[in-house]
Structure 1
Amino acid sequence: MTAREEILSRIRGALGDAPSAPEVPRTYRQQGARAPGDPELVRQLIGRLEDYRATVVRVAEGDDDAIGQAIADALTVRDIGRVVAPPGVPAEWTSRLADVVVDEASISARLLDGIPAVVTGSVVAVAETGSIILDGAGVCGRRAITLVPDTHVCVVRAMHVVQTVPEGLRRVDPQRALTIVSGPSATSDIELDRVEGVHGPRTLVVVIAG
């Protein structure tokens, strides 16, 4: 018997024939005081994102051309000419970009490493934590394309901004591969020296529509 088999055998013995999961207490706050898309929630989200050293740009709701211009401006100022985007991204978002690679889930991590930026949408954002949730589908794309490129330009619609984490999680499919983004990827060593870009994009640009 291997160590793995022994551990699994002990777990099965401890659980018995018909283990039942204990009921999870739900006494925590599950609803915010403000409705999704409330201007105060959008302001709070912006404040959190800027605290996390993300760059935030606002455009009018429903104006995909303005979103595309904001994306192009953000990439131009960073001298980025090539991006990857999921197939669900509206054409207007990338129409001003010279070199767009549409990801069909076949681009390897090695090839992605040579693409400096990714453009995606999002499904929901949480104001209190400054978090943006991607669900791996549609405008979000698979997880790999949002973790390998050094710059992530992400579009958040104001109507999708909620106040609390439970509200945000209720809006996504828990069986999907969720990615929760709270600012640029960063970590600190034991001496609290901050290093960005270790586990994901070093630069995060958020375009808020609305």
Structure 2
Amino acid sequence: MSSRERILGRVRRALADVRQDDTPYEQAIERSYVREHGERSAEQTVDLLAGNLADYRAIVHRCATDELAAMIAGLLAGRGAQTVLVPSGLDGDWLAAVDAERVPDRAESTPHELDRVDSVVTACAVAVAETGTIVLDGSPDQGRRRITLVPDHHICVVRIPDQVVSSVPQALERLDPARPLTWISGPSATSDIELDRVEGVHGPRTLEVVLVHGPG
């Protein structure tokens, strides 16, 4: 018997005398909490997102769709990036002006190989204005979770206003809980008992968010 089977067996025995609840999940939990704090226009919601991202020390940029390729190329060049990790489903037009070597998102890539990559560029699933949070769900334009955790520099593109919601409850309605969700609020950081902040411990030291508006 495997450890998994042993643990599941204990769970089944512990639940043997528990009454079955046929209430659907959507009805079983009271959801009368506030879904959004105040009323905002789409533009105000995007502004709130930008402000909260900046509070978390993310670097925020804005551009139109036809300026995005030049924006990404400029950000990579400004950082001196020689290699950039590219998810398989990322829009190729976004990197049309990039000179850096493109590294594909491969399942067999080791952590050491990923650590040698200078930057990674991804899209996102949704962004939450009230918390300054960006959510990735592992879709083809975002790639595997680890490609945004190991490289030291992450450029994330958010389409505005379509991918921006006010609150976490609104974001959850758009997300598939079965997917590998990564919630990002600023660059990776932690503090020790003396409250000394250290960045880049379990994710990129630098997070740059590009809010892009217009068709695309």
TM-score (norm. length: structure 2): 0.86
| Change over 3 Å in CA distance of 1:91–1:126 after alignment to 2 | same
SS in 2 for 1:67: helix
Deviation at 1:78, TM superposition (A): 1.3
| Change over 3 Å in CA distance of 1:14–1:83 after alignment to 2 | same
The 10-residue stretch of structure 1 (96-105 or 125-134) with the greater mean CA deviation from structure 2 = 96-105
Q: What is the identity percentage for the equivalent residue pairs of Structure 1 and Structure 2?
A: 49
Q: How does 1:156-167 map to 2 (within 5 A)?
A: 156-158=158-160, 159-167=162-170
Q: How does 1:28-177 map to 2 (within 5 A)?
A: 28-31=33-36, 34=39, 38-60=42-64, 63=65, 65-98=66-99, 99-158=101-160, 159-177=162-180
The corresponding residue for 2:191 is: 188
The corresponding residue for 2:206 is: 203
SS in 1 for 2:71: helix
Letter matched to residue 141 of structure 2:
V
| Change over 3 Å in CA distance of 1:2–1:157 after alignment to 2 | closer
Deviation at 1:109, TM superposition (A): 1.7
CA distance, structure 1, for counterparts of residue 8 and residue 134 of structure 2: 37
In the comparison of the two structures, how many residue pairs are matched? 206
TM-score (norm. length: structure 1): 0.88
Letter matched to residue 156 of structure 1:
V
| Change over 3 Å in CA distance of 1:101–1:29 after alignment to 2 | same
SS in 2 for 1:88: coil
Where do 5+ consecutive residues of structure 1 fail to align?
none
Deviation at 1:67, TM superposition (A): 1.2
CA contact (8 A) 1:155 1:208 kept: yes
Tell me the C-alpha RMSD between the 2 structures.
2.4
Deviation at 1:106, TM superposition (A): 3.0
Indicate which of 32, 38, 43 corresponds to 1:27. Answer: 32
CA distance, structure 1, for counterparts of residue 109 and residue 7 of structure 2: 38
CA contact (8 A) 1:54 1:204 kept: yes
Letter matched to residue 164 of structure 1:
S
| Change over 3 Å in CA distance of 1:101–1:2 after alignment to 2 | closer
SS in 2 for 1:195: strand
Deviation at 1:205, TM superposition (A): 0.3
